Amino acid sequence: MKILIVGTGMIGTIYGQVLSAQNEVFHYVRTSRYSEKNNKTIHFDYIDERRKKNDQNINGSYQYSCVTAADSSYDLIIVPVKTFQLIETMKELAKQAPKAKYLIFTLDWNQMDQVDRIISKDQYIVGYAGGGGTFKGDLLWGNVGKDIMLGTIYPEQQPILKNIDQVFRVCGIIPEVPQNALHWLWMHNVSTAPFGAALAKHRDFIKYLDDKELIKVTFGACRECCLILKARGVNLKQFPESKMYTMPSFLYFIPIAMMRWNFKKNPVMQRYTAHANDSLDEMCLNFEEIYQTGRELEINMPNMDFLHKIVEKNHTISCI
């Protein structure tokens, strides 16, 4: 399969390297970055969860093959861009590749209606990466998950889902296909955005973990976000992770202790969360969109109010 990946960011690079084992992969870059990125070799240090437990630490290299224009000759265009970049990116891609099929790898809160005005419903599916990490110079320090979320919003997207599902399975990644992919993205968004807002205070995950009161506020905000989801029509019973936030507040010490232990002891978690500071703009913007929805729905959310003040004081969201 001939695949085009937008950009050379962390997610695009991970899946470019993984998919290149079975496919012809190219990276779409700005003209101004072509000479810098084309044929550039980067090195990676992965925990590859597709492999056996004692054989998961791998090192290697990956060479970018870049282009500065898209067209409809690609079998698939993967769009792993930040939330605030999605609409403009899709507008540009639609001009260049009007008949292409797309996998949109971006968290959603209120953008899919806009996407539907740019491309046809039968041209795309949505998804979310199962890996993470960060660049340390020309080294990608990350993890490759053995799963990934792929899903549809409309019935006419099922044929694309079937084809893309197989693309990942051949590479050893087993897709999770939720009952409602849009609600899955919303749930994941409200599970991460409050942490990004809280992280804006310290800009360091270790310092954040040592701020016990701020962690409690974050979990309280996630609980309030679940109320927003419920008001939006989401069936929380479909998402077992919501139980962590909807439990009584006096039991928060349980998931907080688990999170602290997981971050300090689990190398996969350490790599996955290393991307947080790199994505602070996106997480804070997503938080603000969720917060505004909560206000419109008249949800009582004192913890979200507290985090909103942190974002206003400590972080300028340059993309709004």
CA distances from 59 to 56, 67, 140, 190, 300 (A): 10, 26, 10, 34, 49
Beta-strand runs (E) in the chain: 2-6, 24-28, 41-48, 57-63, 66-67, 76-79, 102-104, 124-128, 132-136, 139-144, 147-151, 174-176
Domains, the chain, with CATH or none: 2-177 (3.40.50.720), 183-314 (1.10.1040)
Mean pLDDT by 10 residues, the chain (320 residues): 96 96 97 97 95 94 97 96 95 96 95 96 96 91 95 97 97 96 96 92 84 91 96 95 82 78 78 74 93 97 96 64
pLDDT value at residue 250: 77
Residue 244 dihedral angles phi and psi, to the nearest 5°: -65, -30
Q: Which two tokens stand for residue 93?
A: 């891609």
Closest CA to 287 of 210, 184, 218: 218
Is 14:140 a contact under the CB 8 Å cutoff?
A: yes
Which residue intervals of 26-85 are DSSP H helices? 31-37
Distance CA 67, CA 58 (A): 28
pLDDT value at residue 319: 42
Closest CA to 150 of 136, 168, 132: 168
Is 97:71 a contact under the CB 8 Å cutoff?
A: yes
Q: Mapping DSSP to helix (H, G, I), strand (E, B) and coil, where does residue 164 land?
A: helix
pLDDT value at residue 18: 97
pLDDT value at residue 35: 97
Q: pLDDT of 244-292, one tens digit each?
A: 888 877 777 787 787 777 777 788 878 877 766 677 889 999 999 999 9
Distance CA 187, CA 220 (A): 15
pLDDT value at residue 276: 67
Q: Which two tokens stand for residue 209?
A: 């973990």
pLDDT value at residue 320: 39
Is 264:171 a contact under the CB 8 Å cutoff?
A: no
Distance CA 175, CA 58 (A): 22
Q: Mapping DSSP to helix (H, G, I), strand (E, B) and coil, where does residue 309 land?
A: helix
